[in-house]
């Protein structure tokens, strides 16, 4: 037997799992306040160090290879990161990489990008806003994974890129899903937010904006929730136009969250299952001119109604679920837009302060050198004499320092001045530069001490970014969702219900080919209805419930199929059984309920009509009495009621007043004796008799008439009962 060492689960999680989880969260999946994940940042920074901001494009393979100095992952993972950042892939509103070659498309899963050896890249102009003043100590640098070079912790971005660039990531135990917003709107909103922290951002940022366009269905309450909490969802749908001449719907923009293939596959599946019958063909006609899905439809089809249905049941209309989870100082936080702008403002404010301090330090150093130069200008001939008469070179600096009371740095600067520059013009320029530097330093110090001046710098830079790089919205805003109508092709069908609750919807043409219905052993048909595909079906159960279905929601089957098992299809309890079925289009007519105690209820079918598309209604009829039978009728007609198998009446339903209450007790139709009960109820057309008028009653309740012997032998009452229940 092998020896096993027991491990404490909490210690194992702490030692092995938690470091991995934190590594994924902090170093891989969640973007930071500059809008980038570490993989993005390493790639772009290496391209910057390679001089690709102003240079010509180079092979992507070269960029991938160099990036591995910062990102020790496989080349394929780095190249996938590069692809998403390119203009060719169309994943971002403002791509950071200017590309040449095939980089696939964000809106297609089948359009694969070319290998890195075939494509070329360089940084896009907007990257100037990422790297501007990065060498002025605006952000912190750290060692790369092997300590061979430095890399930035963040980019000093001059605009809230975290809101402009769409970002998705799945970490361990958390995820992030940030939609993109229009650059001009974001810059404008940020400027106004800096000026007034209580600003209503909805006035400036209308809604998200996506590189793939589409139409955003605007819901103000949902947008407020997203803007305030960073969580929520909104719908985005495709744009299309109709070619009337060719009866063709052309889709040219789709939701950011889906692909061409997902849309086409879903529509093809719907056509194959006969849930959509108006489409003749669908094609992917995407080319160099852009995305295009062509849908050929049947003549005289209402394309608007068809598109409304496709928006309902296909990815042509999809939902974007927002989760603005961002790393703030190494800690993941879910923030609303105003909170994100506040964090970005604090970050950018510190970047500008550090830049000003860096400039001031450089100006001070230069001023210090000019201070030394100013001292020797008092006696330039003495300076020359000291240098000429000093016997050893190493003593020149010391002699100058002693003679003019300057330090070593100043002395070295003076010694480096060329002899040709010791003229009046040069010295006068340096004197003016000395004065200007003092003015600049004084102004920088004032700016550093004045928050409003730093705010103005940030706002001016935002306005400049907006002016240089802004573009019109791509995603159109629709302020109200169109009223969707169900488009249903209407054609004759036969509905069949069996005792064991199997259901069939059959085309008449199928019945002609095979009239024998396949049923399970000991099963039998209890109800058959000839109707159309555009009706509602009501299934009444022995538990006083009604289940409702649209006829078109159920697939047609053949006579040799068993059909749908309704208990599973309707999610019914196993102890509940369907006892009656009715199909209706306008809910005209009445339901007749007969109870064992001799009462009969007449309920208007319209009572079961609902404004909402409810699938189940409870308390469909009275539960206090045992039900004997149900029937549906448009107009009043005759019914047979049998008591104790010996008394019978023929009752016309016009003797019973219709009710609008489903659970009504009904009226007493048959006088009942002690321990007597009604055991049969069915329409009179199923009753065979030469003396029907003998049984007819003209008022209720009635004691009934004894069943004639000829009528007993002519009728099978049990069989007639099975027609209804």
C-alpha R_g of the chain: 42
Phi and psi dihedrals of 516, rounded to 5? -85, 120
* Token pair in block for residue 9: 């689960």
C-alpha 722/C-alpha 710 separation (Å) is 22
What are the DSSP calls for 599-612, one per residue?
EEEEEEGGGG--SS
Q: Which residues are registered as beta bridge partners of 231? A: 323
- CB 159, CB 89: distance < 8 Å: no
Give the model confidence (pLDDT) of 540-559 as tens digits.
999 999 999 989 888 888 88
Model confidence band, residue 627 (pLDDT cutoffs 50, 70, 90)? very high
Q: Which residues are registered as beta bridge partners of 580? A: 540
C-alpha 295/C-alpha 246 separation (Å) is 10
Whole-angstrom CA distances from 558 to 374, 578, 598, 631 are 105, 22, 41, 27
Q: Of the given ranges (152-156, 165-169, 254-258), which has the lowest mean pLDDT?
A: 165-169
How high is the pLDDT of residue 486? 56
How high is the pLDDT of residue 4? 62
How high is the pLDDT of residue 723? 42
How high is the pLDDT of residue 722? 40
Higher pLDDT, 725 or 461: 461
663 alpha carbon, distance to own chain's centre: 44
Q: Of the given ranges (88-92, 135-139, 610-614), which has the lowest mean pLDDT?
A: 610-614
Whole-angstrom CA distances from 580 to 152, 208, 513, 527 are 73, 51, 28, 7
Question: Taking the model in full, what pTM does it have?
Answer: 0.70
Q: Which residues are registered as beta bridge partners of 332? A: 327
C-alpha 458/C-alpha 355 separation (Å) is 12
C-alpha 270/C-alpha 264 separation (Å) is 10
Token pair 């009969």 in the structure block, residue: 600
> Cα–Cα–Cα angle for 280, 285, 288, nearest 5°?
170
Higher pLDDT, 149 or 26: 149
* Token pair in block for residue 705: 């008439």
660 alpha carbon, distance to own chain's centre: 44
Task: Based on the residue annotation, tell me whether 240 is a catalytic residue of this protein.
Answer: no
- CB 699, CB 655: distance < 8 Å: yes
Average pLDDT on 675-684 reads 91
How high is the pLDDT of residue 257? 94
Task: Please name which of 181, 59, 51 lies closest in space to residue 127, comparing C-alpha atoms.
Answer: 51
* Token pair in block for residue 104: 């696939």
Q: Long-range contacts: 435-438, Cβ < 8 Å, 24+?
A: 437/363, 437/366, 437/367, 437/370, 438/367
- CB 588, CB 639: distance < 8 Å: no
Phi and psi dihedrals of 449, rounded to 5? -90, -5
Number of H helices, E strands in the chain: 22, 33
- CB 263, CB 254: distance < 8 Å: yes
Find the helix packing angle between 396-404 and 337-377, rounded to 10°.
90
How high is the pLDDT of residue 74? 85
Whether residue 254 is predicted with pLDDT greater than 70 in this model: the reply is yes
Can you state the percent helix, strand and coil of the chain, rounding each to 5? 35, 25, 40
How high is the pLDDT of residue 50? 95
How high is the pLDDT of residue 52? 96
Model confidence band, residue 724 (pLDDT cutoffs 50, 70, 90)? very low
Which residue in 17, 20, 118, 694 is the catalytic one? Answer: 118
Find the helix packing angle between 424-449 and 337-377, rounded to 10°.
150
Whether residue 327 is predicted with pLDDT greater than 70 in this model: the reply is yes
How high is the pLDDT of residue 645? 83
Give the model confidence (pLDDT) of 116-152 as tens digits.
999 999 999 999 999 999 999 999 999 999 999 999 9
Phi and psi dihedrals of 477, rounded to 5? -100, 125
Whole-angstrom CA distances from 575 to 541, 562, 567, 572, 637 are 10, 21, 10, 8, 34
Model confidence band, residue 725 (pLDDT cutoffs 50, 70, 90)? very low
Burial of 383-406, coded b for 16+ CB within 10 Å and e otherwise, reads beebeeeeeeeeebbebbbebbeb
Average pLDDT on 86-110 reads 95
Model confidence band, residue 560 (pLDDT cutoffs 50, 70, 90)? confident
Token pair 């209720």 in the structure block, residue: 700
Average pLDDT on 676-685 reads 92
Model confidence band, residue 718 (pLDDT cutoffs 50, 70, 90)? low
Whether residue 629 is predicted with pLDDT greater than 80 in this model: the reply is yes
Residue 83, preceding peptide bond in cis (omega within 30° of 0): no
Find the helix packing angle between 75-84 and 38-49, rounded to 10°.
90
Give the model confidence (pLDDT) of 36-61 as tens digits.
999 999 999 999 999 999 989 999 99
Give the model confidence (pLDDT) of 222-247 as tens digits.
999 999 999 999 999 999 999 988 99
Q: Which residue segments constitute the domains of the chain, with CATH numbers given?
A: 31-157 (3.90.199.10), 239-315 (3.30.1360.40), 341-469 (1.10.268.10), 492-722 (2.120.10.90)
Whether residue 514 is predicted with pLDDT greater than 70 in this model: the reply is no
Whether residue 421 is predicted with pLDDT greater than 50 in this model: the reply is yes
Average pLDDT on 351-378 reads 90
Higher pLDDT, 189 or 486: 189
C-alpha 469/C-alpha 126 separation (Å) is 7
Higher pLDDT, 172 or 606: 606
Higher pLDDT, 250 or 25: 250
Whether residue 2 is predicted with pLDDT greater than 80 in this model: the reply is no
What torsion, rounded to 10 degrees, do the Cα atoms 105, 106, 108, 110 define?
70
Give the model confidence (pLDDT) of 365-399 as tens digits.
999 988 888 888 778 888 888 888 888 888 888 88
DSSP state of 565: E
Token pair 């200017």 in the structure block, residue: 98
Which residue stretches of 378-496 are H helix?
A: 380-389, 396-404, 408-415, 424-449, 451-469
Phi and psi dihedrals of 497, rounded to 5? -120, 135
Beta strands (DSSP E) in 479-524 are 492-498, 502-506
Whether residue 455 is predicted with pLDDT greater than 90 in this model: the reply is yes
End-to-end CA distance of the chain: 67
- CB 606, CB 565: distance < 8 Å: no
Average pLDDT on 659-681 reads 92
Phi and psi dihedrals of 454, rounded to 5? -65, -40
Mean pLDDT for all residues in the chain: 90
What torsion, rounded to 10 degrees, do the Cα atoms 125, 126, 127, 131 define?
110
């Amino acid at each position: 037997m092998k020896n096993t060492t027991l491990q404490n689960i909490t210690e194992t999680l702490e030692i092995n799992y938690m470091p991995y989880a934190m590594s994924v969260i902090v170093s891989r999946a969640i973007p930071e306040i500059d809008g980038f994940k570490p993989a993005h940042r390493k790639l772009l920074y290496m391209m910057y160090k390679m001089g690709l901001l102003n240079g010509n494009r180079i092979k992507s393979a070269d960029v991938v290879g160099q990036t591995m100095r910062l990102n020790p992952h496989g080349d394929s993972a780095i190249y996938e990161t590069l692809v998403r950042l390119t203009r060719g892939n169309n994943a971002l509103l403002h791509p950071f990489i200017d590309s040449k070659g095939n980089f696939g498309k964000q809106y297609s899963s089948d359009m694969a990008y070319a290998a890195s050896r075939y494509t070329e890249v360089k940084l896009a102009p907007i990257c100037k806003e990422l790297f501007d003043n990065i060498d002025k100590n605006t952000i912190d640098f750290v060692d790369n994974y092997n300590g061979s070079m430095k890399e930035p912790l963040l980019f000093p971005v001059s605009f809230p890129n975290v809101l402009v660039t769409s970002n998705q990531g799945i970490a361990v135990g958390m995820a992030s899903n940030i939609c993109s917003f229009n650059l001009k709107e974001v810059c404008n909103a940020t400027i106004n937010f800096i000026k007034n922290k209580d600003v209503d951002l909805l006035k400036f940022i209308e809604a998200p904006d996506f590189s793939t366009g589409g139409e955003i269905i605007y819901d103000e309450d949902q947008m407020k929730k997203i803007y305030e909490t960073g969580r929520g969802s909104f719908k985005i749908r495709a744009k299309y136009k109709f070619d009337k001449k060719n009866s063709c719907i052309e889709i040219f923009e789709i939701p950011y969250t889906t692909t061409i293939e997902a849309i086409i596959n879903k529509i093809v599946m719907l056509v194959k299952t006969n849930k959509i019958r108006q489409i003749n063909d669908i094609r992917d006609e995407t080319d160099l001119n852009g995305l295009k899905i062509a849908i050929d439809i049947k003549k005289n089809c209402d394309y608007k109604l068809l598109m409304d249905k496709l928006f309902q049941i296909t990815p042509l209309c999809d939902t974007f679920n927002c989760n603005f989870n961002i790393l703030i100082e190494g800690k993941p936080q879910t923030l609303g837009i105003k909170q994100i702008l506040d964090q970005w403002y604090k970050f950018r404010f510190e970047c500008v302060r550090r830049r000003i301090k860096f400039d001031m330090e450089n100006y001070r150093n230069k001023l210090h050198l000019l201070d030394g130069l100013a001292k020797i200008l008092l006696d330039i001939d003495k300076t020359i004499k000291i240098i000429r008469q000093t016997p050893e070179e190493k003593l020149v600096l010391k002699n100058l320092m002693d003679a003019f009371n300057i330090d070593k740095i100043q002395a070295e600067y003076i010694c480096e001045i060329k002899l040709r520059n010791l003229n009046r013009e040069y010295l006068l320029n340096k004197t003016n530069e000395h004065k200007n530097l003092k003015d600049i330093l004084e102004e920088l110090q004032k700016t550093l001490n004045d928050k409003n001046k730093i705010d103005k710098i940030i706002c001016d830079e935002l306005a400049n970014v907006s002016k240089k790089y802004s573009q019109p919205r791509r995603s159109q805003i629709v302020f109200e969702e169109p009223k969707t109508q169900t488009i249903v092709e209407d054609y004759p069908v036969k509905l069949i219900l069996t005792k064991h609750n199997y259901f069939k919807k059959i085309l008449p043409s199928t019945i002609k080919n095979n009239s024998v219905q396949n049923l399970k052993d000991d099963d039998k048909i209890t109800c058959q209805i000839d109707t159309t595909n555009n009706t509602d079906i009501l299934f009444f159960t022995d538990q006083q419930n009604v289940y409702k279905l649209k006829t078109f929601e159920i697939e047609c089957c053949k006579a040799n199929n068993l059909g749908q098992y309704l208990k599973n299809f309707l999610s019914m309890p196993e102890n509940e059984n369907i006892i009656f079925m009715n199909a209706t289009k306008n809910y005209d007519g009445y339901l007749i309920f007969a109870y064992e105690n001799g009462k009969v209820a007449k309920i208007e079918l319209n009572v079961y009509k609902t404004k909402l598309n409810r699938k189940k209604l409870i308390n469909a009829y009275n539960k206090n009495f045992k039900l004997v039978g149900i029937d549906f009728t448009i107009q009043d007609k005759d019914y047979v009621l049998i008591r104790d198998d010996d008394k019978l009446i023929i009752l016309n339903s016009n003797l019973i007043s219709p009710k609008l209450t489903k659970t009504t007790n009904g009226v007493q139709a048959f006088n009942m004796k002690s321990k007597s009960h009604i055991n049969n109820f069915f329409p009179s057309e199923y009753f065979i008799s030469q003396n029907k008028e003998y049984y007819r009653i003209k008022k209720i309740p009635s004691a009934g008439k004894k069943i004639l012997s000829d009528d007993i032998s002519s009728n099978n009452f049990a069989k007639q009962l099975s027609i209804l229940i």
